[in-house]
Structure 1
C-alpha cells in the first residue's frame, strides 16, 4: 500500500461514508424494531448484520486505496491504520451478534431484557468506536469515546431485574465517568500547553520545545490514566472483573471485544502521533502499567471459579502484553523500530479480540433459557457432550495461554521480539514467567472439558449460523498461528504508512 496525503477539507465526506451509513441505518433499525412483536426480532438481527457488512464494504474500499484523507478541518482522518482496525471492529461486532442471538432472544422473551435495543445500542457503540479510531483531534477522540461508553453503560444496565447486573452498571458508570474526567482534564492541560487540539499540531509544537513542559507532563499523566482505565490495565482495573461478571454475557462480549481495538487506536493517536517527543515519559508509565497488569492479572485469575471473572483477569494480563509493544517503539530517541513495535501491539490486540470473542461465544453456547453457564464447572464433560466445540474451546484456551501453533503464541512472540530488540531482555523474561503462571488457569479449563464428568448432560442446541461462525473462529485461530506472515505484514505496512503521514 502506498500512502497519499490529501489536504484537509470540510467538503470531502468520502472518509466518513461508513459512519454516515451506519448512523442512518441504526436510526432506521431503531424505528423498525418499535413495530416488531416481542420474540420476532430476526428482522432486527438480519438488518444489523447487513448494516455491518455495508460498513465493511465502504471501509475495505478505503483500505484498498491506501490513502490518508483528512476532513472536518483535520479533525477526522481515514488512513491505513483506521481502516484496518475498523474492518476488524466490524468482524468482532458481527461475530458478537451472531453468538448473542439465541442468548439475547431467550432473555428477551423471559424478562423483556436484551431485545431489539441490544442490537441498536451495539451499533451506536460501534459508531463511537469508528469515531475513536479515525479521530485526529482531542475533541473528536473524546466524542467517539463518550458515544461508545454511553451505549455500553446502557447495555450493562439492561438487566433491570438482576441486582448483580445493576451493581455492575453503577460501578462501570461511576468509574467510567471518573476516568473520562481524567482523560478530559489531561486533554485540557495538553491544549493549554500547546494551544491546539489537533493531533498533528500538538506533535509539532511539543517537538519544537515551544510547549510548557510542566503542564504537558501533568496532562500526559492524566491522559495515560484515562487510557489505562479504558484498557483495563492495573491499577485502573478494578471495574473489569465486576462488570464482566455482572453483565449479561452478550454485553460482556461487547465490552471485551471490539472496544479494545478502538482504545488501542486512541492510544496510538495520542501517544505515538501527538506526543512522540515525550516518548521517554509515557514509556516509563506504560512499563509500570504493563508489569503490574501481567502480575496482578495472571496471579489473581488462578483463584477464580467464575469463568467470566477469570477471563476478566486474563484480559488485564493480555493488556499488559499490548502495553509492552507500545512502550518499545522509541529507544533513546531512535524510532527506527517504531513501526515494528507498534505493529506487534496492533497484531496482538487483533488476535486477542478474535480469540476472546470465541471464548465468550462458547460460554453463551452452553447457556440456555433460565441458566447461565458462568462457572468453570459448567464446562465439565463438554468433550463428551460436544467433541467438536470442546476442541474449539481447547484451541481458544491454548491460544490465550500462548501455546504453539495457535495465533496467541505468534502474537506473544512478536511482542517479546520487539521488547528484546529494544534491549530489555529482562522485561521479556518477566513477561514469559508471568505467561507461564497464566497457563495454569487456561489449562485448568482444558482439563475440566476433557477429564471431568459432566455435571449437565442436556443436549446443546445452537443456531446453524452460530455453529458455522464458531467453527470458523476456531479454525482461524489455528491457521493464523501456522501462517501468521500476511497479517503481520499488513499490520507492519499499515503502521509504516500511518507513521509516515
Structure 2
C-alpha cells in the first residue's frame, strides 16, 4: 500500500468506528442467516437463542462505549453518535431481546416459527439503530425502510392465516403511502434548503424569509411520521395490523419501533427544522389531541383485548406528542421518557396475551380473563401491574411518564393541551380497570374453566420481570429521566 493509499484509508476506517455496534449487528444477522441453512427444524431454537444473545451483545457494546469517542458525527454527517442515540439503542436492544423471548414458544406451537423470523428482527433493529442515529434525510429514509420492510415480512409470517395476510397487505399498502408522503416532504425540504444534511437544513431554515416551500415539506413529513407512530388521523392501519398479526409479532412492532419513531421526530423536527418550531408545534398539539380523543373513546367499546391495546397505543402516542408540543429540552426529554416507558409497558401487555394463549385459543378477548385470579393468582397480579401502569396509577412507571409530558406541555405554554391530556387519561383508565375487574370479580363464562399461564419457565420469568419492572422503575424512575435529560443538555 502506498503512502497516499494509507492516508486515504485511515480516515475512512476511523469513520466506521462509531458504527461498530451497527456493523456487528449486521454481521451477526448475515451469520445467523447462513447458520439457519444448516439447522434442522427440530434444532431451530439454536438460531433463536443466538439472536437474543446478539441483541444483548450489541446492547452491552453500546453501554461499554465501544466505538464511542470525541467525534459525534461521521460519514459526512450522515451518522450521529450522541447520548440520545446510545440510550435509545440500548433500550431498543433490550426491548427487542425481551420480545424474542416470547417468540419461540408461541410461534413454534403454532407451527409458523421459521429461521428467518429471528433474522428479520435483527435487521429491523438494525434499521431502528440507523434511524436513531440519522444525521441526514438519506439516513432517515434508509433506516426507516429497513425497519418497514422487515416489519411487513414479520406480520405476514403466518401465510396460512387469512387474518394475518390481510393485516400484512394493509400494512404494506398504507406503509408505502406513508413512505411516499415522507419522501415527498423530504424532497420539498431539499428543494427549499439545497441540502440533505440536518444541521445545514437547520441553519438555512433560520434565515429563510419566505418559508412556504419548507413549511409544505414539514407538513408532508409530519403526515409520514404520524403514520409510523400510529397517531390519529393516520392510525387506520394500526388496529387491524395489531389484531391480525401473530401476537408475538404484534408485541415486537408495538414496542421497540416507537423508540425509533421518537428519534425520527427529534432528528427531523427538533434538530432539522427547529427554527420553524412555532409553526409545527401547534400541529403536534392537534395530532396529540386527536390521538387522545380517538384512541381513548374507541378503546372504551372494544371487546377484543388486542384491539383495545391497539387503540390505547394511539392514545399513548398522543401523550408522546404532548412532549413534542411542549418543545424545548424539557419537552423532548419528557417525550423520550414516555416512549421508553411505553415500550416496556407494551411489551408486558402483549406478553400477557402470549403467555395465556394456546393452540386454538388466542386469549385475546377480555372475557377470556374472567376469573383468572381464581386459577392463577400470580399471573393475575402481574397483569394487574401492567394494566395499572398503562392506566397511570401511582407509583407505577406509567404515572410518572404521564406526569412528565403533562408538565412539559404546561411549561411550553399549552395549558389547554395539558387539561385535555388529564381528562382523557381519566377516561382511558376505565378500560384498563375493566380488565382488572374482570380478572378479580367476574366468574368464568359457562363451559369455560378459568385459564392459567403456560408452563414455560422462560416465558413466565420474562413476563414477571417485565411486569414487576414497571413497579420497580416507577419507584426508581429518576435515573431514567436523568438519562433522557442528559440527551438534550
Common fold by TM > 0.5: yes
Change (3 A) 1:286 1:36: same
Q: Does the CA contact (< 8 Å) of 1:392 and 1:474 recur in 2? A: yes
Q: Matched residue of 2:360: which SS? A: coil
In structure 2, the residue corresponding to 1:57 is in which secondary structure? Answer: helix
1:53 aligns with 2:46: no
1:9 and 1:74 in contact (8 A); partners too: no
SS of residue matched to 2:488: helix
5+ residue gaps, structure 1, are 1-7, 330-337, 497-501
Q: Compared with structure 1, are the counterparts of its residues 417 and 355 closer, same or farther at alpha carbon in structure 2 (3 Å cutoff)? A: same
Cα deviations by residue, 1:189-236 (Å, 9 ceiling, x for unpaired): 0000000001111111111227x5111011011000000000000000
SS at match of 1:453: coil
- Whole-angstrom distance in 2 between the partners of 1:62 and 1:136: 20
Match in the other structure for 1:451? 441
Note the 1:344-359 alignment, pairs <5 A: 344-359=334-349
SS of alignment partner, residue 135 of structure 1: coil
- Structure 1 position 44, deviation (Å): 1.0
Native 8 Å contact 2:20 2:67 kept in 1: no
1:265 and 1:63 map into 2 onto residues whose CA distance is 21
- Taking the aligned partners of 2:183 and 2:88, their CA distance within structure 1 comes to 24
1:479 aligns with 2:472: yes
2:130 counterpart of 1:137: no
Counterpart pick for 2:245 among 241, 244, 247: 247
Structure 1 residues 106-117: aligned runs within 5 Å: 106-108=109-111, 113-117=112-116
2:382 aligned residue: 392
Superimposed CA distance per residue, residues 150-198 of structure 1 (whole angstroms, 9 cap, x where no aligned partner) = 0010111111111111111111000000000000000000000000001
Shifted more, 163-172 versus 418-427: the winner is 418-427
Structure 1, 373-382 or 141-150: larger mean CA deviation: 373-382
Select which of 423, 426, 434 maps to 2:424: 434
Partner residue of 2:283 out of 285, 305, 320: 285
**Partners of 1:9 and 1:71 within 8 A in 2:** no
Deviation at 1:339, TM superposition (A): 1.4
The alpha-carbon distance between structure 1 residues 432 and 67, as it changes in their structure 2 partners (threshold 3 A), is farther
Contact 1:9–1:72 (8 Å) recurs in 2: no
SS of residue in 2 equivalent to 1:36? coil
Alignment correspondent of 1:43: 46
How far apart are 1:66 and its partner, in Å? 7.7
Separation in 2, partners of 1:101, 1:159? 14
**Contact 2:164-2:244 within 8 A present in 1 as well:** yes
Task: Please identify, of 95-104 and 55-64, the stretch whose mean Cα deviation from structure 2 is larger.
Answer: 55-64
SS of equivalent to 2:196: coil
Distance in 2 separating the partners of 1:243 and 1:49: 25
Q: What's the counterpart of residue 174 of structure 2?
A: 175
5+ residue gaps, structure 2, are 1-9
User: Structure 1's 340 and 9: CA in aligned 2 closer, same or farther, altered over 3 A?
Assistant: farther
1:224-373 alignment runs, 5 A limit: 224-329=222-327, 338-373=328-363
Distance 1:66 1:444, change over 3 A: farther
- Per the alignment, residue 13 of structure 1 pairs with 16
Offset from partner CA, 1:455-482 (integer Å, 9 cap, x none)? 3345533322222221211221111112
What is the SS of the residue equivalent to 2:80? strand
Q: Secondary structure at the match of 1:495?
A: coil
In the alignment, does 2:457 pair up with 1:467? Answer: no
Partner residue of 1:163?
162
The CA RMSD over aligned residues, in Å, is: 1.6
Partner of 2:392: 402
Is the CA contact 1:365–1:462 (under 8 Å) kept in the aligned structure 2?
A: no
Q: CA deviation at 1:239?
A: 0.4
Larger deviation, residues 244-253 vs 362-371: 362-371
Give the distance between the partners of 1:158 and 1:206, measured in 2 at CA.
44
**What TM-score, normalized to structure 1?**
0.92
Number of aligned positions between the proteins: 476
The 2-side partners of 1:429 and 1:247 are apart by 35
Aligned to 1:97: 100
User: C-alpha displacement at 1:54, in angstroms?
Assistant: 1.4
Q: Is the 8 A contact 2:356 2:451 kept in 1?
A: no
In 2: Cα distance, 1:71 partner to 1:434 partner: 43
Whether the aligned pair in 2 keeps the contact of 1:128 and 1:147 (CA below 8 Å) is yes
- For the 8 Å contact 1:385–1:460, the answer to whether it is kept is no
Q: Is the 8 A contact 2:21 2:66 kept in 1?
A: no
- What CA distance in whole angstroms lies between the structure 2 residues aligned with 1:214 and 1:410? 39
Residue-by-residue CA offset, 1:368-390 (whole Å, 9 max, x unaligned): 12321111112122212221121
Q: Which residue number corresponds to residue 493 of structure 1?
A: 486
1:63 and 1:84 in contact (8 A); partners too: no
